[in-house]
Amino acid sequence: MSGKIFNPLLLLIARLTDPELARSVQFLKAENKVLRSKLPRQVRTTPAERRTLLDLAEPLGSAVRELLTIVSYRTFLRWKADEGKAGKRKRSDRKPGRKRTPEEIREIVIRLAKENGWGYTRILGELKKLRITVCRNTVKNILKEEGFDLGPKRGEGTWDEFMRIHRSSLWACDMISQKVWTMTGRIEYFILFFVEVATRRVKILGASAHPNAEWVAQMARNIRMWWEENGLKPSYILKDWDTRFTAQFDGILESIGATVKKVARRSPNLNPHAEAWVGSFRRECLDKFVVLGEKHLDHICRQYEVYHNSVRPRSALDNEPVGVIAPAPPEFTEEKDGVVCEAWLGGLLRHYRRAA
Chain mean position to CA 37: 37
E-only strand ranges, the chain: 170-182, 185-196, 202-208, 236-239, 259-262, 313-314, 320-321, 332-336, 339-344, 349-354
Residue 283 within a domain: yes
* CA separation for the pair 231, 118 (Å, rounded): 36
131, 121 in Cβ contact below 8 A? no
Q: Which of 293, 322, 344 is the last residue of a domain?
A: 293
- Give the global pTM: 0.55
pLDDT at 154 over 60: no
Chain mean position to CA 282: 24
Residue 328 within a domain: no
Q: Residue 248 — pLDDT band, cuts 50, 70, 90? A: very high
Q: Which of 48-62, 150-164, 186-200, 215-229 has the lowest mean pLDDT?
A: 150-164
CA contacts within 13 A on the Cβ side of 348: 16
Q: Residue 175 — φ and ψ, nearest 5°?
A: -125, 145
Q: Do 80 and 113 share a domain, yes or no? A: no
Residue 324 within a domain: no
* pLDDT at residue 41, rounded to an integer: 67
Q: Do 129 and 80 share a domain, yes or no? A: no
Q: What is the mean pLDDT of residues 275-287?
A: 92
E-only strand ranges, 245-338: 259-262, 313-314, 320-321, 332-336
Of 11 and 202, more confident: 202
Q: Do 174 and 254 share a domain, yes or no? A: yes
6, 56 in Cβ contact below 8 A? yes
Number of domains in the chain: 3
Q: What is the mean pLDDT of residues 344-356?
A: 84
Q: Residue 122 — pLDDT band, cuts 50, 70, 90? A: confident
Percent of the chain with pLDDT over 70: 80
pLDDT at 31 over 90: no
48-52, 126-130, 265-269, 304-308 — which one is most confidently predicted on average?
A: 304-308
pLDDT at 267 over 80: no
Q: Do 131 and 48 share a domain, yes or no? A: no
Q: Which of 55-69, 153-167, 249-263 has the lowest mean pLDDT?
A: 153-167
* CA separation for the pair 212, 236 (Å, rounded): 24
Q: What is the CATH number of the domain that holds 190?
A: 3.30.420.10
Length, in residues, of the chain:
356
Q: Do 120 and 192 share a domain, yes or no? A: no
Q: Which of 274, 293, 312 is the last residue of a domain?
A: 293
* CA separation for the pair 307, 333 (Å, rounded): 15
Residue 302 within a domain: no
* CA separation for the pair 169, 233 (Å, rounded): 7
Q: Do 131 and 182 share a domain, yes or no? A: no
Q: Which of 293, 323, 340 is the last residue of a domain?
A: 293
Full residue range of the structural domain in which residue 207 is found: 164-293
Q: Do 77 and 115 share a domain, yes or no? A: no
Q: What is the mean pLDDT of residues 28-40?
A: 73
Q: In whole angstroms, how far apart are CA 103 and each of 25, 137, 264, 285, 329? A: 45, 16, 39, 51, 58
* CA separation for the pair 79, 187 (Å, rounded): 78
Residue 8 within a domain: yes
Q: Do 137 and 179 share a domain, yes or no? A: no
Q: In whole angstroms, how far apart are CA 166 and each of 161, 172, 329, 337? A: 9, 12, 35, 45
* pLDDT at residue 18, rounded to an integer: 57
